[in-house]
Amino acid sequence: MKQKSQLIISTMKQMQNDFVKAIFNPNDVEFVKNIRESSINSAFRLNIYRNNILQNLYRALEITFPAVWKLVGKECADNLAALFCREEKNLPITNCLDDWGASFPHFLQSVEPIKHLIYLPDIAELEWLKHMSYRAAKFRLLNPLKWPKKLELPEEIYLIFNPSVYLFSSPYSLKEIVDLIERPDEKQIINLRPVECYVVISRQYHCVSIHWISQDMFRFFMFLQNRLSLTHAYEAVYKTNSDFDLHAALQFIRENHLLWKIKCASKTY
């Protein structure tokens, strides 16, 4: 009985694998032989499944990367999604499409017809991080009124960002592109200059925000995120910019509710 059950499971797995191959490889006609005959052609019926699955995948990418669809247009973006889905390594590995799409920005770098859109992969990466920020685990904000006393502790202090905080940098002026997408009626021409941009992404009250910050503040936040103490993070930035405004950086963290915990050797707050 046990051997029979194992055989059935093995057969089912094989059929599922064959179905996936048939869906994503229209030239694979072998699977059609497994479909029960009816008045409607078997290949036609399989094609209905294929179109439904592919359209759902394209739509999932469009929801996660809306800026890509707006910048290149739906027809072009859908074709990019189709190319992406042709490679098995790019297909979803969980039953939740919200988990899927991390490799799409990197994939865009390899598509020859859009290589002149040098900023597009970075725009897609920014979109993915916004998506990740939105889906980050729930967290309780640290009460900013308790900051001063905790920052006066004599021990080494570590500032821990909340789970929705992501840091991103790009060699392109993405702010102009984002402004164009968000306010197309106000801004129709952009001057895409090779000017680096630095971004903090975070979620507040179910709304994801992006903040454009200076390079020094970005480096300071990166040091904190990499678990350097507050003192060591400040010293690292101070080496290259003695005018770095620590107070302004801490104020930014406080006003935008980026902080989750304050840790020291003896206690976590």
pLDDT computed for residue 28 by the predictor: 66
Last residue of a domain, one of 69, 102, 135: 135
pLDDT computed for residue 29 by the predictor: 66
* Residues 159 and 104 both lie in one domain: no
Please state the pTM of the whole predicted model. Answer: 0.85
Average pLDDT over residues 148-164: 76
* Residues 89 and 152 both lie in one domain: no
Distance CA 22, CA 16 (A): 10
DSSP state, 76?
H
> Which tens digits make up the pLDDT trace of 240-268?
999 999 999 999 999 999 999 888 766 66
* Residues 142 and 223 both lie in one domain: yes
pLDDT computed for residue 78 by the predictor: 96
Average pLDDT over residues 154-166: 88
Average pLDDT over residues 99-124: 96
Average pLDDT over residues 224-244: 95
Distance CA 68, CA 78 (A): 10
Return the structure tokens found at 110: 């390899």
Residue 172 lies in domain: 136-269
Last residue of a domain, one of 84, 106, 135: 135
* Residues 155 and 67 both lie in one domain: no
Distance CA 49, CA 236 (A): 56
Range with the poorest average pLDDT among 28-37, 57-66, 120-129, 177-186? 28-37
* Residues 64 and 188 both lie in one domain: no
Domain membership of residue 14 (yes or no) is no
Burial of 75 (0-12, 13-18, 19+ CB in 10 A): exposed
* Residues 147 and 266 both lie in one domain: yes
Domain membership of residue 22 (yes or no) is no
pLDDT computed for residue 122 by the predictor: 97
Torsion, Cα of 202, 207, 208, 211 (10° steps): -70
* Residues 113 and 144 both lie in one domain: no
pLDDT computed for residue 205 by the predictor: 84
**Residues 258/203, Cβ–Cβ less than 8 Å:** no
Distance CA 214, CA 256 (A): 16
Distance CA 64, CA 222 (A): 25
Range with the poorest average pLDDT among 61-75, 132-146, 168-182? 132-146
Domain membership of residue 4 (yes or no) is no
* Residues 165 and 106 both lie in one domain: no
DSSP state, 194?
-
DSSP state, 170?
E
Domain membership of residue 75 (yes or no) is yes
Last residue of a domain, one of 100, 135, 170: 135
Average pLDDT over residues 63-81: 97
CATH code of the domain containing 211: 3.90.930
Distance CA 259, CA 58 (A): 36
Mean pLDDT of all residues belonging to the chain: 86
* Residues 266 and 142 both lie in one domain: yes
